[in-house]
Amino acid sequence: MTPEQIIFLIVAGATLVSGLMVVSTRNLVHAALWLVATLFGVAAMYAILNAGFIAVVQVVVYVGAIAILFIFAVMLTRRDMRDSGPQHNKNWWAGAFVSVLTFGGLVALFQSWAGFSKTAAVIPSGFDAVGLLGSQLTSPEAYVLPFEVASVLLLAAMVGAVYVAFTRK
Protein backbone atom coordinates (compact mmCIF):
# COMPACT_ATOMS: atom_id res chain seq x y z
CA MET A 1 0.00 0.00 0.00
CA THR A 2 1.39 3.40 -0.97
CA PRO A 3 1.64 6.34 1.44
CA GLU A 4 -1.03 8.18 -0.56
CA GLN A 5 -3.45 5.31 -0.06
CA ILE A 6 -2.73 5.24 3.68
CA ILE A 7 -3.33 8.98 3.97
CA PHE A 8 -6.51 8.62 1.93
CA LEU A 9 -7.78 5.87 4.25
CA ILE A 10 -6.99 7.93 7.36
CA VAL A 11 -8.77 11.00 5.96
CA ALA A 12 -11.71 8.87 4.81
CA GLY A 13 -12.01 7.28 8.25
CA ALA A 14 -11.88 10.66 9.99
CA THR A 15 -14.52 11.98 7.58
CA LEU A 16 -16.80 9.02 8.28
CA VAL A 17 -16.39 9.40 12.04
CA SER A 18 -17.15 13.12 11.91
CA GLY A 19 -20.17 12.43 9.67
CA LEU A 20 -21.41 9.92 12.24
CA MET A 21 -20.94 12.53 14.95
CA VAL A 22 -23.05 15.01 12.94
CA VAL A 23 -26.09 12.78 13.18
CA SER A 24 -25.48 11.36 16.63
CA THR A 25 -24.64 14.40 18.76
CA ARG A 26 -27.40 16.02 20.78
CA ASN A 27 -26.13 19.59 20.72
CA LEU A 28 -26.99 21.48 17.52
CA VAL A 29 -23.88 23.68 17.61
CA HIS A 30 -21.66 20.64 18.04
CA ALA A 31 -23.41 18.98 15.10
CA ALA A 32 -22.68 22.05 12.96
CA LEU A 33 -19.02 21.97 13.96
CA TRP A 34 -18.81 18.26 13.15
CA LEU A 35 -20.37 19.10 9.78
CA VAL A 36 -17.54 21.56 9.15
CA ALA A 37 -15.02 18.81 9.99
CA THR A 38 -16.80 16.43 7.61
CA LEU A 39 -16.75 18.96 4.79
CA PHE A 40 -13.06 19.64 5.38
CA GLY A 41 -12.42 15.90 5.18
CA VAL A 42 -14.19 15.73 1.83
CA ALA A 43 -12.08 18.66 0.60
CA ALA A 44 -8.93 16.87 1.77
CA MET A 45 -9.97 13.76 -0.17
CA TYR A 46 -10.43 15.88 -3.29
CA ALA A 47 -6.96 17.34 -2.77
CA ILE A 48 -5.46 13.86 -2.36
CA LEU A 49 -7.13 12.83 -5.63
CA ASN A 50 -5.45 15.77 -7.45
CA ALA A 51 -8.72 17.68 -7.86
CA GLY A 52 -7.42 20.93 -6.41
CA PHE A 53 -10.07 23.15 -7.93
CA ILE A 54 -12.91 21.03 -6.56
CA ALA A 55 -11.18 20.98 -3.14
CA VAL A 56 -11.01 24.77 -3.07
CA VAL A 57 -14.63 25.07 -4.20
CA GLN A 58 -15.62 22.60 -1.46
CA VAL A 59 -13.91 24.71 1.20
CA VAL A 60 -15.15 28.06 -0.09
CA VAL A 61 -18.75 27.12 -0.85
CA TYR A 62 -19.60 24.50 1.73
CA VAL A 63 -17.32 25.25 4.67
CA GLY A 64 -16.95 28.96 4.08
CA ALA A 65 -20.53 29.77 3.26
CA ILE A 66 -23.13 27.15 4.04
CA ALA A 67 -21.73 25.66 7.26
CA ILE A 68 -20.71 29.01 8.74
CA LEU A 69 -24.11 30.47 7.82
CA PHE A 70 -25.75 27.54 9.58
CA ILE A 71 -23.61 28.09 12.69
CA PHE A 72 -24.45 31.80 12.77
CA ALA A 73 -28.15 31.08 12.28
CA VAL A 74 -28.10 28.65 15.18
CA MET A 75 -26.13 30.99 17.41
CA LEU A 76 -28.15 34.11 16.58
CA THR A 77 -31.55 32.60 17.20
CA ARG A 78 -32.04 33.18 20.87
CA ARG A 79 -34.17 30.13 21.33
CA ASP A 80 -33.64 27.83 24.25
CA MET A 81 -31.54 25.03 22.80
CA ARG A 82 -32.13 22.45 25.49
CA ASP A 83 -33.88 19.29 24.46
CA SER A 84 -37.54 19.17 25.34
CA GLY A 85 -38.66 15.83 23.94
CA PRO A 86 -37.50 12.31 23.34
CA GLN A 87 -34.33 12.02 21.30
CA HIS A 88 -34.92 8.69 19.60
CA ASN A 89 -37.53 7.58 17.15
CA LYS A 90 -39.53 4.56 18.22
CA ASN A 91 -38.79 2.86 14.91
CA TRP A 92 -35.03 3.34 15.04
CA TRP A 93 -34.53 -0.38 14.52
CA ALA A 94 -36.05 -0.17 11.02
CA GLY A 95 -33.51 2.46 9.99
CA ALA A 96 -30.68 0.43 11.51
CA PHE A 97 -31.88 -2.68 9.67
CA VAL A 98 -32.00 -0.87 6.32
CA SER A 99 -28.53 0.58 6.97
CA VAL A 100 -27.04 -2.84 7.74
CA LEU A 101 -28.79 -4.35 4.72
CA THR A 102 -27.46 -1.59 2.45
CA PHE A 103 -23.95 -1.98 3.84
CA GLY A 104 -24.09 -5.73 3.30
CA GLY A 105 -25.24 -5.23 -0.28
CA LEU A 106 -22.41 -2.80 -0.97
CA VAL A 107 -19.83 -5.18 0.52
CA ALA A 108 -21.17 -8.03 -1.65
CA LEU A 109 -21.12 -5.77 -4.71
CA PHE A 110 -17.60 -4.47 -4.18
CA GLN A 111 -15.98 -7.81 -3.37
CA SER A 112 -15.82 -8.70 -7.05
CA TRP A 113 -14.76 -5.20 -8.17
CA ALA A 114 -11.14 -4.89 -9.28
CA GLY A 115 -11.02 -1.12 -8.76
CA PHE A 116 -9.61 -1.38 -5.23
CA SER A 117 -6.30 -2.73 -6.49
CA LYS A 118 -5.86 -0.19 -9.29
CA THR A 119 -4.10 3.14 -8.94
CA ALA A 120 -4.99 6.36 -10.71
CA ALA A 121 -3.20 7.35 -13.88
CA VAL A 122 -0.48 9.96 -13.53
CA ILE A 123 -1.61 13.43 -14.60
CA PRO A 124 0.62 14.96 -17.29
CA SER A 125 2.63 18.01 -16.24
CA GLY A 126 0.97 20.39 -18.72
CA PHE A 127 -2.61 19.40 -17.89
CA ASP A 128 -4.78 22.44 -17.06
CA ALA A 129 -7.92 21.13 -15.36
CA VAL A 130 -9.34 24.56 -14.52
CA GLY A 131 -8.88 25.84 -18.06
CA LEU A 132 -10.49 22.72 -19.48
CA LEU A 133 -13.42 23.11 -17.06
CA GLY A 134 -13.85 26.76 -18.05
CA SER A 135 -13.80 25.98 -21.75
CA GLN A 136 -16.34 23.17 -21.28
CA LEU A 137 -18.70 25.42 -19.29
CA THR A 138 -18.64 28.19 -21.89
CA SER A 139 -18.45 26.17 -25.09
CA PRO A 140 -21.65 26.09 -27.17
CA GLU A 141 -20.96 22.43 -27.97
CA ALA A 142 -20.67 21.44 -24.29
CA TYR A 143 -22.41 22.75 -21.17
CA VAL A 144 -23.21 26.41 -21.87
CA LEU A 145 -27.00 25.90 -21.82
CA PRO A 146 -27.19 24.18 -18.39
CA PHE A 147 -24.68 26.71 -17.06
CA GLU A 148 -26.81 29.64 -18.19
CA VAL A 149 -30.06 28.03 -16.98
CA ALA A 150 -28.49 27.58 -13.54
CA SER A 151 -27.42 31.23 -13.51
CA VAL A 152 -30.94 32.40 -14.43
CA LEU A 153 -32.45 30.20 -11.70
CA LEU A 154 -30.02 31.59 -9.13
CA LEU A 155 -30.84 35.14 -10.25
CA ALA A 156 -34.57 34.43 -9.89
CA ALA A 157 -33.99 33.00 -6.41
CA MET A 158 -32.01 36.09 -5.41
CA VAL A 159 -34.72 38.45 -6.71
CA GLY A 160 -37.35 36.41 -4.87
CA ALA A 161 -35.33 36.54 -1.64
CA VAL A 162 -34.99 40.34 -1.92
CA TYR A 163 -38.72 40.65 -2.60
CA VAL A 164 -39.62 38.50 0.40
CA ALA A 165 -37.19 40.40 2.63
CA PHE A 166 -38.66 43.81 1.76
CA THR A 167 -42.37 43.04 1.76
CA ARG A 168 -44.33 44.69 4.52
CA LYS A 169 -46.02 42.43 6.97
The rounded distance, in Å, linking the Cα atoms of 103 and 96 is: 10
Report the amino acid identity of residue 8.
Answer: F
Question: pTM for the full model?
Answer: 0.61
Q: What is the pLDDT of residues 100-116, one digit of tens each?
A: 999 999 999 888 888 77
* 3-state SS record for the chain: CCHHHHHHHHHHHHHHHHHHHHHHCCCHHHHHHHHHHHHHHHHHHHHHCCCHHHHHHHHHHHHHHHHHHHHHHHHHCCCCCCCCCCCCCCCHHHHHHHHHHHHHHHHHHHCCCHHHCCCCCCCCCCCCHHHHHHHHHHCCCCCHHHHHHHHHHHHHHHHHHHHHHHCCC
Domain 1-79 has CATH 1.20.120.1200: yes
Residue 20: pLDDT band (50, 70, 90) is: very high
Q: What is the pLDDT of residues 69-84, one digit of tens each?
A: 777 777 766 565 555 6
Determine the distance from the C-alpha atom of residue 137 to the mean position of all C-alpha atoms in its chain, rounded to a whole number. 22
Read off φ and ψ for residue 88, nearest 5 degrees.
-120, 145
Q: Where are the domains of the chain?
A: 1-79, 130-169
